[in-house]
Structure 1
Amino acid sequence: MEERYHRQALFKPIGNSGQQLINQKHVLILGCGALGTASAEGLVRAGIGKLIIIDRDYVELTNLQRQQLFNEQDYLHQTPKAIAAKSKLKAINSDVTIHAHVMDATNITLEPLLKGVDLIVDATDNFDTRLMLNDLAQKNHIPWIYGSCVGSTGMSFTILPKETPCLQCILDAAPISGATCDSVGIIYPTVQMVVAHQLTEALKILVEDKGSLRSNLVTFDLWNNQYQTIKMDRAKKKSCPSCGDNPSYTYLNYESQTKTEILCGRNTVQIRNKRHVSIEQLANRLLSIGQVKKNDFLVSVAFQSYRVVFFQDGRTLIHGTNSIETAKKIYYQLTG
């Protein structure tokens, strides 16, 4: 088995001792889309000891362009992403213990799975889940690596509880666009660039080389040849509800969670979020999706066979379905 990882162990910052550490470590990946499948494959090839992968969705045709563990058979059989990923990963490295969970990640379903986890890799597609994950990681003192990509742009940041700014601090200091792959598209190299940053940071954490970790937020635009690192030291706030002196873990509270309900007799699901939206910004972003209508109070868009209406007060109506899961999927596809 030493021969399998020989080239990796030859890399001096890892070495044989680092390889042994990797073989003993436990990583959780939240999300099994583009970032999640690539990160999972990289960790499995690197010889991670135990891997948990979580995703609520199944494989669709549009996934095959960038989600590298899936094939046409997975799409034809509508295989859950976590299950399809596990099958491919076990074929790559049968020595790795892999647990696949087909589920909606909430603070209630996710927290029991964090026991013994050494690192969390973010591969989610929305900030509701990321902010919940941020609170859970701070509460349980688990490092995690944020990553996101859309179009030809991406970013990544490594979060160490009690040491670095958390995601909430970063969002307060440098608001991030809510553009999604469904609204502006994505090219495959963008995914690989984010994964390269996330996986490299993951290996540093797994071999316990904290001194080599990147302390800056990295952002890039491959198409426009832009690359930037932004210092985030001053972003950390003592008053932060997630990583501050007196954390309240706001996004683990019921009041802060996104609420859903089926509207009786209307073939409509309502989603309620505490965050108010900018009608103008949302309307401009949705123009590439379909026909957009707006006034001072709401913006609506035709998306596939659904009509989606966003209200300024944070409510959203998804007309054309009585399925909460379908409604949430559409909501996150459009809002990020």
Structure 2
Amino acid sequence: MNIERYSRQILYKNIGEDGQQKLLDSTVLIVGVGALGSVSSEMLTRLGIGKLILIDRDYVELSNLQRQTLYTEKDVDDQKPKAIAAYEHLKEIREDLDIEVHVNHVDALFLESLVKEHDVDLILDGTDNFETRLLINDVSYKHEIPWVHAAVIESSYVSAPFTKDSPCYRCIMPVLPSNTLTCDTAGVISPAVHTAVSIQVTTAIQLLVGESFNKHYMTFGDLWSGEHSRIAFDNIKNKDCETCVHENYPSYNDNHQALSLCGRDTVQIYDDNITYDLALQTAKRLGDFKETPYFIEFYYDDYRIVVFKNGRMLIHGLNKEDKARTIVAQLFG
């Protein structure tokens, strides 16, 4: 390894040689490599993180390229899963990066298996929904691993770190900026993504190098209006919180076989009885299908259906979970 690569970072007084070595020795897990995760994974790769673990359930689409700056038109043409595309591009940036990727839906047990197997130092939020963030929150607090939240919509951003001695995400949800909009309904601009991730990754660096700072702040703002704020949340721990007070970790009990994806008019189906071979047989029976190295794509009653190697299915063109279950029953009995 050529340490000259990080010379300007080492010159920075708050990192130095000791801090750089800590970064090189660190393992970071990123849940979701869409807009947030694709940018944070590139930043971490360039600053010299030792090992990255990436999880994402989706593939690259043309509408992603406006803000998901790690990906290219070729990734779209190849219908490449985001985790695979991220792996390839990050290895081009830094050949010595230790990186592991998973094209998968994340649940508590799967996430827990990764943090235990790899001795993860930090988790970054690259997701787009509250349910997955609560899951990250439960796993992180159970195993005392810090995690850093980030989110964007329109021109607004928010980021906050969570550590074992702070109120958790479940505690502060009532005071988060209230917004039911999604990227697909209200849009988002790329500078908001990069602002959120810049704050998120800076916090990650501080946590990993052991820099002393007040961790219990939520930073948020709107780039279009130029308004930026920061609030402390030290004193808002919920005495009835199931995660950080009672240590019950309710996300471990959630088992969603059908899940509507945020703002996507897409429902994800996870059913152990739907194997890849069964899906391929069904696609061939219907007659019009495409098979890539990563999934099968076919149509049924004008619904676009994508089935991954592990049997996980995305049904595009609807947002009703009961309708998705009906389609699965019609296709697979």
TM score, norm. by length of structure 1: 0.77
Instruction: Provide the C-alpha distance between the structure 2 equivalents of 1:3 and 1:270, rounded to a whole number of angstroms.
Output: 45
Any conservation in 1 of the 2:155–2:192 contact (CA below 8 Å)?
A: yes
Q: CA deviation at 1:125?
A: 1.2
Identity %: 43
| 1:234 counterpart residue number | 235
Counterparts in 2 of 1:8 and 1:213: CA distance versus 1, 3 Å: farther
Counterparts in 2 of 1:131 and 1:224: CA distance versus 1, 3 Å: same
Any conservation in 1 of the 2:123–2:145 contact (CA below 8 Å)?
A: yes
> Counterparts in 2 of 1:102-251, with a 5 A limit?
102-115=103-116, 116-161=119-164, 163-174=165-176, 176-209=178-211, 211-244=212-245, 246-251=246-251
Give the total of aligned pairs: 275
> Counterparts in 2 of 1:60-71, with a 5 A limit?
60-71=61-72
| 1:252 counterpart residue number | 252
Q: CA deviation at 1:259?
A: 4.5
Q: Any idea what SS the aligned residue of 1:100 has?
A: strand
Structure 1 unaligned blocks of 5 or more: 262-267, 272-303, 310-315, 325-336
Instruction: Provide the C-alpha distance between the structure 1 equivalents of 2:325 and 2:75, rounded to a whole number of angstroms.
Output: 27
Q: Any idea what SS the aligned residue of 2:127 has?
A: coil
Instruction: Provide the C-alpha distance between the structure 2 equivalents of 1:136 and 1:156, rounded to a whole number of angstroms.
Output: 19
Any conservation in 1 of the 2:158–2:220 contact (CA below 8 Å)?
A: yes
Q: Any idea what SS the aligned residue of 2:3 has?
A: coil
Q: Which amino acid aligns with 1:190?
A: A
Q: Which amino acid aligns with 1:180?
A: T
Instruction: Provide the C-alpha distance between the structure 2 equivalents of 1:49 and 1:213, rounded to a whole number of angstroms.
Output: 25
Instruction: Provide the C-alpha distance between the structure 2 equivalents of 1:205 and 1:305, rounded to a whole number of angstroms.
Output: 39
Q: Which amino acid aligns with 1:7?
A: R
Counterparts in 2 of 1:175 and 1:221: CA distance versus 1, 3 Å: closer
Structure 2 unaligned blocks of 5 or more: 260-265, 270-314
Instruction: Provide the C-alpha distance between the structure 1 equivalents of 2:130 and 2:83, rounded to a whole number of angstroms.
Output: 20
> Greater CA deviation, 180-189 or 166-175?
166-175
Instruction: Provide the C-alpha distance between the structure 2 equivalents of 1:167 and 1:219, rounded to a whole number of angstroms.
Output: 15
Any conservation in 2 of the 1:143–1:160 contact (CA below 8 Å)?
A: yes
Q: Which amino acid aligns with 1:52?
A: I
Any conservation in 1 of the 2:162–2:215 contact (CA below 8 Å)?
A: no
